[in-house]
A and B are shown apart, each in its own frame.
Chain A
Amino acid sequence: MAANLPDSRPDPDALLVRMRREEAEHQRGRMKIFFGAAPGVGKSYAMLEAARKQKTDGADVVVGYVELHGRPETEALLQGLEVLPPQKFEHRGLVLTEFDLDAALARDPQIVLVDELAHSNHPGARHPKRWMDIVELLDAGIDVYTTVNVQHVESVNDIVAQITGVVVRETVPDRVFDAADEVELVDLPPDDLLQRLREGKVYAPEKSRHALEAFFRKGNLIALRQLALRATAERVDAAMREYRDDHSINATWAAGERILVCVGPDPLSERLVRAARRLAVALHADWHAIYVETPKLVRLPRAARDRVLETLKLAESLGAQTANLSGESVAREALLFARQNNVSKIIVGKPSRSRWQDRFRASLVDEIVRGSGHVDVYVITGEADAEKSPAAPRLPARTSQWPAYAASAGIVAAITALCGALYPHVERANLVMLYLLGTVLAAARFGRGPSVLATVLSVGLFDFLFVPPEYTFVVSDTQYLITFAVMLATGLTISHLAARGRRQASVARARERRAAELYALSRELARSRGVNELGEILRRHVLAGIDADAAVLMPDSEGRLQDPARFCARSGSEARYPVPGNDLGIAQWAFDHRQKAGHGTETLASADAIYLPLNAQQRCIGVLALRPKDTHQLDVPEQMHLIESLVNQTAIAMERVQLAQSAHSADVQIESERLRNVLLSSISHDFRTPLASIIGAASTLSDERASALDPQRRRGLEATILEEARRLHRLVDNLLDLTRLSQGPVQLKRQWLTLEEIVGGVLRRLHDALAGREVRVDLPPDLPLIHADEVLLEQLLFNLVENAIKHAPASAIRIVAESTPGGISVAVRDHGPGLPPGEESSVFDKFHRGRVEAAQSGFGLGLAICKVIVEAHGGRISARNLAEGGAEFLFSLPRDAEPPQ
């Protein structure tokens, strides 16, 4: 029953895409393209006319850049429109003018006019291509009117070249063209255009003749017009389909074609890609371009591999999803990919091979056709044989192999010596076996070349030394020729197999290394807590695979990236990575636009460093700046993929940490708000009581009838004032301590201390309060020094002893310390009533008062301060009731450093 459902229900993926698109459209500007078949059809004119109309309708229209070509009619239209002054560049004495992107962004109009979408910018501009400028304008929410001719659209570029014989270098990716919200075809029949051209309305007269001859032939113009009309028709069709999708009209829901094109290092691949694009557009299908790297292809020279990358990039710019696979067989990997991705059509190139070769080995096409099952296979022909792929050079890519060759010759020599010793006693057939053993050893150890050498040497030496007549290469018994042939064939086969095995192993190793690198990173990321620490981990992992300087740039609170404090080269050397203002500007751009910038990217490609934004789900967290010693390192796609994966993983981890931090600080805020309220209500009670006594006593003493008081009463009142003032003093001290300690992280002034001294200081300070009490101090003589803040540690112990004095009246107090494996633990015990059950941990809360006793005053801040101090030292504090009665307060401090001496 599921079989007839798909037609009646919109594809959820498609709905999602539509929702995202609508969301994006809300902020993005709209792009309108005035589209023509050739120069001179009147695109700029039509654009300016449309702009004037918008202006009359009240829109804020600005002319960003218009190519006038000295056409007076067009120039007349500029009258009354605001024109941005162009940016000027000096180039070899010539002053070039360019569209000023920053000026347009700063002006921020409703609509901006920028002529010539396909234009290539001056090397000093921010983007190499004007269409990138326009994408940035759209991102900024500005509507753009622009113009383009059909021959500049990437996917028809090769057709245009075939028709006109003129190769157009300035192209616009189809996705940019397709992303236009509106395309207006500016059409002019070829005869009219030629007429205009002759009248000098297209180009200035002296230029036009040359242009006429090269490009403006009537045949060309007809073909170009046809292409332009077709492209427009396709767009209208697409708009129609979109409308249907949007309104869930799915009676003719497409079956969801997917096209796969396999590319290789030969020049035919580019044609394959373009053909695939055309087919994909015609079928409204998604398409994939893949490159399967077989062990054989790994050995290709760099130029050939670069060509593959170029082809994949082209495919990407034409809207394909690309993948770089590796495997033993192209056909098998391609078919596997096709099955996994529900591909319905595969496009492959027809190999240009001789018939003889075809018979000898199954071609890629045959293999794919055989294994394709229900997938359609399209075979595209190549050009004439003249454009044959250059033969891959046979030389191994590795450096000097002479030691390997010498060693394998050595092996053969050793075998020969062994054979010489055994020869009189052993059959010649067994000698052959020994030589084959040598070949196997050479193949396993040194690879193909040396083992081929070993094979040839073996055959030669065997013939020369052991086959009669000896010491000549002449063979008397022709049977030995078979032996030689078998020996040679076996040796070469072994060499080949061994070499292939080694290559596969190295490919596998490379993949494993990448997986291991990612795994190691994610494990380390999971362990870290701070964003800066995460950045440092990323830096380290990136530098493990590339010889470069790197830094992670983080923004300040206003989103401006900061010059990094740490920016070192890989070996930990002191080489600083200087980030001059300009480079920081590129990094900032990457951060603001959440896109990579710098070397090898679409933005400021001429920079020698690359800037990768750390994009998390909600925002960009920072930027990884990477300046390799050799920028070619960045052109290896595996390398870049790995780095980008590392960056992405780190960005996610950073966002996690930042979210956790902000959640935590929100908690802290709520807590401190609550605390403030409790504090205010506590203050009114705890401060007023002693103040009431002081004011009362002092006013009695200063009363005019005070002389009537008997001396004893008088001294009593004086004692009250003193006592209550001291109580107030303790309250204020505690409150100040807690406020100070609660404000952010506690700054510890750690020193090496003896606990004995701290205890001594506390007992002296509490001398009066302890009067008449037994205090037992039990400190082992070998107690190590403690690395702690002296003042805070004394405060901690003071509060604990004071707490015991207050809550265990008349009880003996015991201070016990012991050295533990992890540090030191100190206990303060009393024999008082102990803690109420269940309050063992809440006693450390702020404003906890223990039993409700009106007489027992003092905020209950003392123990809260203890907790803050212990935790600032990384220790723990706890309270419990002792079995023999009374309470114990125990704190432990970890050993954070080795004591000196």
Chain B
Amino acid sequence: MTTAPMQLLAIEDDPQIQRFLTAALEAHGHSLEVAGNAADGLRQATLRQPDVIIVDLGLPDMSGLDVIERLREWFQRPILVLSARSHENDKIAALDRGADDYLTKPFGIGELLARLRVAQRHLAERDGANLQTRIDAGALSIDLAAHRVQRDGVDLHLTPTEYELLTALAKHRGKVMTHRQLLREVWGAAHVESPHYLRIYMRALRHKIESDPARPRYLLTEVGVGYRFADEGA
């Protein structure tokens, strides 16, 4: 699957990864600017107004988390984070500060392109290009206007909370959502510290919409971080 060419900015200090990103992304028709540190990155971001910014969390002059915070003061488009494995807390912190998604190092070019596709679609949605009232994913279809969920054309009976949870994820299809984000969106700000609600409802929801809840097709778990509604390519 190909994507339309995008203007990208990578804030990443490692020259080898810079080289790999440039080669791979340009081969897929995107144009990439590279900034070797946070200061240069922030400057280039204002200068070039890229479609997506890729931020490495470990930068020499500033914490990646602070970079995200600074960018989010004005930058509305997707931010993609690169982080080391086993730093789940960093990932969550980055997402909670406004990053759209993350990639764990080391990663393959396939994963990066998949994330960029999702980012591009959300970019388009946010610009109001195609406001969806209906989400189709494999055998599943969600009619947001009619509050109706079907699998293979058969109506599924979801409780209001289950429906809220499903649509919260489906609206951000392909994009990871942290536990806190989901709890706030479905249960409200008062319940962000009760993650077991989420687990219990997620189990119930999977049993209703997945054919094999232990090997879910639609509702994927991001261990230690949150959940993701599977993108069509996944």
Contact = CB atoms under 8 A, between A and B. Distances in A.
A737 B202 CA distance: 29
Interface size class of A (residues with CB under 8 A): 20 to 34
Nearest to A725: B106
A752 B214 contact: no
B199 interface: yes
A791 B88 contact: yes
Interface in B41-64: none
A736 B85 CA distance: 10
Nearest to A793: B223
Interface stretch (A75-83, A564-572, A635-643, A755-763): A755-763
Contacts of B223: 758, 761, 790-791, 794
Contacts of B212: 777
B16 interface: no
A827 B212 CA distance: 19
Interface in A313-338: none
A442 to B, nearest CB: 67
A725 to B, nearest CB: 8
A785 B199 contact: yes
A752 B221 contact: no
B196 interface: yes
Contacts of A725: 106
Given A756-B213, A757-B202, A791-B88, A751 B106 contact: no
Residue in B196, B212, B221 with the greatest tally of chain A CB atoms within 10 Å: B221
A751 B196 contact: yes
B203 interface: yes
A758 B200 CA distance: 13
A729 interface: yes
A754 interface: yes
A900 interface: yes
Given A756-B213, A791-B224, A729 B199 contact: no
A900 B196 contact: yes
Interface residues of B, number: 23
Given A759-B214, A760-B214, A791-B224, A752 B203 contact: no
A729 B206 CA distance: 32
Contacts of A781: 207
Interface in B207-234: 207, 212-216, 220-224
B195 interface: yes
A753 B199 contact: yes
A673 to B, nearest CB: 26
B102 to A, nearest CB: 15
B130 interface: no
A740 B106 contact: no
Contacts of A756: 203, 206, 213-214
Interface of A: 725, 729, 733, 736-737, 740, 751-754, 756-761, 763-764, 775, 777, 779, 781, 785, 790-791, 794, 815, 899-901
25 contacts: A725-B106, A729-B106, A737-B86, A751-B195, A752-B195, A756-B206, A757-B199, A757-B202, A757-B203, A757-B221, A760-B216, A760-B221, A761-B221, A761-B223, A763-B215, A764-B215, A764-B220, A775-B215, A777-B212, A779-B214, A785-B196, A815-B214, A900-B196, A901-B196, A901-B200
Interface of B: 85-86, 88, 106, 194-196, 199-200, 202-203, 206-207, 212-216, 220-224
Given A740-B86, A777-B212, A785-B199, 15 more contacts: A729-B106, A737-B86, A751-B196, A752-B196, A754-B202, A758-B223, A761-B221, A764-B220, A764-B221, A775-B215, A779-B214, A785-B196, A785-B200, A791-B223, A901-B196
Of all A-B residue pairs in the complex, the 4 with the closest CB atoms, nearest first, are: A752-B196, A777-B214, A791-B224, A761-B221
